[in-house]
Amino acid sequence: MNRNALARRKLRLAALAGLLSAGAALGGCSLLPKDPEPLKPPLVKPAQAEIQTVEAKLGTIVRQVTGSGTFVPTDVEYYQFKEGGVIGEVRVRAGQEVKRGDPLVTLENKDMDIELLQRELEYEKKKLAFEEAVISGDERQANIARIEFEIARKLFDNAREKAENSVLRAGRDGIVSYATDLEPGDYADGGRVLAAVANPSGMRLALGVQSNPVLADIRIGMEAEITFKGRSYTGTVAQTPATAPPTDDARLREEYARNLYIELAELPEDAKFGNLADVKIVAARRENVVVVPKGAVRTYFGRTFVMVLDGERRREVDVEIGLENPTEYEIVSGVEPGMLLILQ
C-alpha cells in the first residue's frame, strides 16, 4: 500500500471514531432518567380551636340539701358502765324487744357470786348475834354486836352493789336501737355507751350531711320535703351538727357531727327503725335571676370574671357572684341576658 492510500485510510478511521463517540454521547443523554423535581409541601390550614359558648339566661337557682334519711328513734335511753371492765356477755342485738329489768350487757365477775353469798352469810350471822345481845340485856356486848353487824351490813351492800354494777339492765320496755360490737373478753371503758333502748312510738329522720357545703345554710325550723314509699310528707329541721346537745360519749358526738335530724308532722304508719326516705331541704331559692354554669366563670388572683364573645371579638368582664349550687352561679352584676359566654 502506497503512502497516499495509507493516509486516506487513517483519515477514514479517525472520522468513524469521532462519529461513534458523538453517538455514544448522544445516546447516553437520552437513556439516563432525569432527576425528579422535589414535591412542594401541601398547604395545610391551621386548625382553629373550637370555642364552646353558653348564652346567659334568666332562670331559677336553688341551693339545697338532698339525700336518703334513716328513721331513728327520738326517745332513747343509753346504757354504760360507770367504771371500765372486761365484757362478759352482750345479751341483746339491735332491733330486739326488751322488758324493763332485762339484762343487756354484763361484765366478767369471776367468783363474785361466791363473794356475795359469803358477805350475805356474814351479815345474817352478825344480825342474829346483835339481836341476841340486845335480848341478853348486856349493853356493852350489845354495842359490840351492833358494830360488828353494821360492818357486815356495809360489806354485804358493797358486794351486792358491785355485782349489780356488773350488769346493765333495761330501764324501760322498748326496742334495742344500738348494741355494742364489743365481744366477750374485750375491755370496755367507763362511760362508753354499750346499748340503747328506744321508745318505738317516736321516730325522726337522720340525714347524713358530713362535708356538705350547703350545711352552713341549714337552720332549725326549715321545712323538709320527704318521700317515703311513693308518698309525700312534710317535716322540719330539729337538730343540726352545730346545735347538737353536748355529750361525753364519743360515739354520739360523731353521730351528731355527721347528721341533721328532721321531725315529721305525720309519721308513716308502716315506717320502722332503719327504713329510708328521700329528703330535700331547700336552703335558698332565687327566681328570675341571671344563671350561668360554673364553667363560664373564671377566677384569677382574687378576680372573678367571664369571657364574653362579641362577634369575632373576645373581652373580659368582671362579675359579682350571688347564690351558687354544685353546678351553677347566680350572676348579680356584670352579665346581661343574651350575652354569649365562653366556657373554660
Structure-block grid coordinates of residue 324: 351558687
- Those residues whose C-beta lies under 8 Å from the C-beta of residue 75, and which sit 6 or more positions away, are 198, 199, 201, 202
Q: Is the pTM of this model over 0.85?
A: no
Angle made by CA atoms 166, 171, 173, in degrees to the nearest 5: 130
Q: Under a CB-based contact definition with an 8 Å cutoff, are residues 198 and 95 in contact?
A: no
Q: Which of 214, 190, 203 is nearest to 281 (CA)?
A: 214
Helix/strand number for the chain, H first, E second: 4, 21
pLDDT recorded at residue 14: 58
What pLDDT is attached to residue 7? 56
Per-residue pLDDT of the chain (344 residues; tens, 9 = 90+): 555 555 566 656 555 555 555 444 444 444 455 556 666 666 655 555 678 999 999 999 999 988 999 999 888 888 988 888 889 899 999 889 999 999 999 888 766 677 778 888 888 888 888 888 888 888 888 888 889 888 888 888 777 777 777 889 999 999 998 899 899 989 998 888 899 999 888 899 999 887 777 887 889 999 999 999 999 999 999 999 888 888 777 777 888 888 999 999 999 988 988 899 999 999 999 999 999 999 999 999 999 999 999 988 999 999 999 999 889 999 999 999 999 999 98
